[in-house]
Chains A and B, each alone.
Chain A
Amino acid sequence: MTRGLSYRYEDGTAALDGVDLIVRRGERIAILGPNGAGKSTLLELLMGFHFPFKGSVDIWGQRLLRKNADALRRRLGILFQDPDDQIFLPRVWDDVAFGPTNLGLNGGELEQRVEWALKSTGTWDLRERVPHRLSHGEKKRVAIAGVLAMNPEVLLLDEPTAGLDPQARADLIRIVNGLDKTIVVATHDVEAAVLMASRAIVLQVQKVAEGDFRQILSDAELLRHANLNVPAITRLFQVLKNLGYPYEQLPLNIEEAVEQITKTLVRGERHVHLHIHEHEHPPGEQEEHNGERH
């Protein structure tokens, strides 16, 4: 939980201004915002990397202070945007073992923990490889394994899908969704955020919005202001709504869209009728001609 969290860079630029954030145990929350919005800084503040700051950070009831930052940090794990910053040992196995070794694990217990982390992220076969020969997606998964090996209670992910090809992105989302952890994802990839989190806050130095994705994605003005892209499927259904297509709730991903269309088909006796035409409207008649449905 953060209360009134404010932080300025050394040159005086405000990175965060009065941010209140509550993350409940087991929850998955996305922090959305454009570059420079303060997303990464917020995660780094939660990790206790920056002191001093205004406001307060409490992690499961304990106030984050300079003197207890090392101890509290062990309950949190962070995935940095660039995996080359995070994989710093010259062999995958040793890098994943770095955290647990620092926790005091050794021998069979250490080997079991490393094996579990590598298998959880599908990187067991990469254990003897050198990091600079891995693909970006493989490096990301190895970096997650390194974090998981610490067995943190909370996972902070900074732009986890940045630079990944579609398959690697899908693999990463599947891995994250398979984890039984409290997760905070900082990203400007709204489509990925929708798949990984259930709630979002929009950050632009200050917190500008908070709520579930439907609420946030329905606010076109907010999204434009925050330079965020609506997922393609959601955008399509917003257009369809303007054309008169009825749906119960705005779909956020392809599965929800299929569900919506199926319901419409059932209601419409296996028919969806849309009549779209292109013509100019005199002002004032816009709403009347927005869409026609038979």
Chain B
Amino acid sequence: MSSLAILAAVGHISTPVSPDEFAAQSRFYRLDPRAKIVSAVVFAVAMSLMTQVWPLLLGFIGSLVVLAVSRLKLRAISRQLRLVALLIIVIALPVYFARGLEAFIAMLLRVSGATLVLLVMVLTTASADLANGLRKLGLPKTLVTLLTLTYRYIFVYGDEATRMSKAREARAVGHGRGFLDRRVLQTISSTAGLIFVKAHGRATRIHRAMRARGYTGEAGFGRRLRMAFLDGYLMFTICSFSVFLLMVNWGFVRWTP
């Protein structure tokens, strides 16, 4: 929560759009989160283990098919996709200089395919379902609670950052000065301190609210999950495809286009 406070103070968190808001439009939204998590993780692990270009290309095409079938609106996630593309290039570029074009293409396909499927999984699942699924798959309760609280309060701090930014603009803080101006930096650092204190106060109040509702260190995630035929089918298809790709990559199955 403290890091969120500092980011909020320098205005690096603005009111973001929650993935929950467009997840419901996806065809995958109603699927059991456990099936989505298992499928995406198995696929991402398979992609990361592959070294050959052709199976990686096949895997990348598979991830595009998943994206198409999910019916995620590309316009809605264009911002996320741009960020991911930037990240992929940053990761893959050093490989080009160190190990040549083929390794660069392999790295590009590996990271793109794995990230795309993980992104589809995250963007088609309500955050509460994701937390519930992770918990049901055995992730420690404390970790899931921390992830959930962090996600919930990003938006509260985003709103606060927006208000503070408006207040700063209204009082012309930084007006006509660069970001590295001494007064601007003084204002930002004192604001960060203030937000840090406020974040600490909020954390205390949230903890009290949790204790008031029976929390004793083990948070409950109660919604019942039901694994249906379609969930099993999705999981089976993606896991089988991942295993097939690995077999091709390791030469157990001969396949070239």
Known contacts A70-B216, A98-B220, A101-B220; decide if A90 and B128 are in contact (CB<8 Å): yes
Given contacts A85-B205, A99-B213, contact A106 B128 (CB under 8 A): no
B203-215 interface code vs A (CB 8 A; 1 in, 0 out)? 0011011111111
**Using a CB-CB cutoff of 8 Å, which residues 206-239 of chain B contact chain A?**
206, 208-216, 218-224
Q: Are A91 and B127 in contact (CB under 8 A)?
A: yes
Check: A89 CB closer than 8 A to any chain B CB: yes
Chain A residues contacting B223 (CB-CB under 8 Å) are: 93-94, 97
With contacts A91-B20, A98-B222, A111-B224 taken as known, whether A85 is within 8 angstroms of B209 at the C-beta atoms is yes
A-B contacts besides A90-B20, A105-B222, 19 pairs, CB < 8 Å: A47-B208, A80-B209, A85-B208, A85-B209, A88-B152, A88-B153, A88-B206, A90-B18, A90-B131, A91-B126, A94-B128, A94-B132, A94-B223, A97-B223, A102-B213, A110-B224, A131-B152, A132-B159, A150-B214
Interface membership of A12, Cβ < 8 A: no
When distances are taken between beta carbons in the complex, the residues of chain B under 8 Å from A89 are 128, 148, 152
In-complex Cβ contact of A94 among B159, B212, B215, B221 (8 A)? B221
Chain A residues positioned under 8 Å from B211 (CB to CB): 49, 70, 73
Given B20, B132, B209, B224, which contacts A88 in the complex, CB threshold below 8 Å?
B209
**Top 5 A-B pairs, shortest CB-CB distance:** A101-B220, A102-B214, A99-B213, A101-B222, A132-B155
Rounded to whole Å, the gap between the CB of A272 and the closest CB of chain B is 50
Q: Which of B20, B202, B222 contacts A100 (CB 8 A)?
A: B222
A86 interface neighbour in B131, B209, B220, B221, Cβ under 8 Å: B209
Is A102 touching B224 in the complex (CB atoms < 8 A)? no
Cβ contact within 8 Å between A132 and B209: no
- Shortest B132–chain A CB gap in Å is 7
In the complex, whether B74 has a CB less than 8 A from a CB of chain A is no
Contact-size category for B:
35 or more
Compute how far the CA of A91 lies from the CA of B125 in the bound complex, rounded to whole angstroms. 12
CB-CB nearest in chain A for B224: A107
> Which residues 113-138 of A have a CB within 8 angstroms of B?
114, 128, 130-133
Once the chains are docked, how many angstroms separate the CA of A107 from the CA of B24?
A: 24
A73–B156 touching, CB < 8 Å: no
Which of A103, A110, A132 is within 8 Å of B156, CB to CB? A132
CB closest residue in chain A, given B213: A99
Are A98 and B213 also in contact (CB < 8 A) when A88-B149, A130-B20, A133-B21 are?
yes
Please, how many residues of chain A have a CB less than 8 angstroms from a CB on the other chain? 42
| Distance in angstroms between the alpha carbons of A287 and B256 in the assembled complex | 108
> From residue A277, how far is it (CB to closest CB) to chain B in Å?
49
Tell me whether B151 is interfacial, beta carbon within 8 Å.
Answer: yes
Contact indicator B126/A101 (Cβ below 8 Å): no
* B151 contact set on A, CB distance < 8 A: 90
User: Which of B21, B151, B214 has the most chain A CB within a 10 Å cutoff?
Assistant: B214
A107 to chain B, nearest CB (A): 6
- The 8 A CB mask of B136-161 against A (1 = contact, 0 = none) is 00000000000011011101100100
Q: Are A106 and B202 in contact (CB under 8 A)?
A: no
Chain A min CB distance to B206 (Å): 5
Contacts of A251 in B (CB 8 A): none
User: Contacts A78-B212, A84-B156 given: A97-B222 contact, CB under 8 Å?
Assistant: yes
- The A interface, classified by DSSP as helix, strand, loop or mixed, is helix
Q: Is the CB of A80 within 8 A of B152?
A: no
Q: Which A residues touch B218, using CB under 8 A?
A: 102
Contact B148 A110 (CB under 8 A): no
Q: Is A77 an interface residue (CB 8 A)?
A: yes
> What CA separation (Å) do A146 and B220 show in the bound complex?
14
Residue of A nearest to B129 (CB): A91
Compute how far the CA of A70 lies from the CA of B215 in the bound complex, rounded to whole angstroms: 9
Residues of chain A lying within 8 A (CB to CB) of residue B152: 87-90, 131-132
- Bound together, the chains give a CA A49 to CA B215 distance in angstroms of 13
CA distance A85 to B206 in the complex (A): 5
A contact residues around B210 at 8 Å (CB): 88, 98
Chain B CB within 10 A, most for which of A70, A84, A147: A84
Instruction: Decide yes or no whether A212 CB sits under 8 A from chain B.
Output: no
A-side contacts of B206, CB under 8 Å: 85, 88
Residues of A within 8 Å of B21, CB to CB, are: 130, 133
Q: Are A101 and B221 interface neighbours, CB within 8 A? A: yes
* A residues in contact with B153, CB < 8 Å: 88
How far is the CB of A216 from the nearest CB of chain B, in Å?
A: 29
A28 to B2, CA, bound (A): 39
A73–B210 Cα distance when bound, in Å, is 11
CB-nearest residue of chain B relative to A99? B213
| Per-position binary interface string of chain A over residues 72-84, scored 1 when its CB falls under 8 Å from any chain B CB and 0 otherwise | 0110111010101
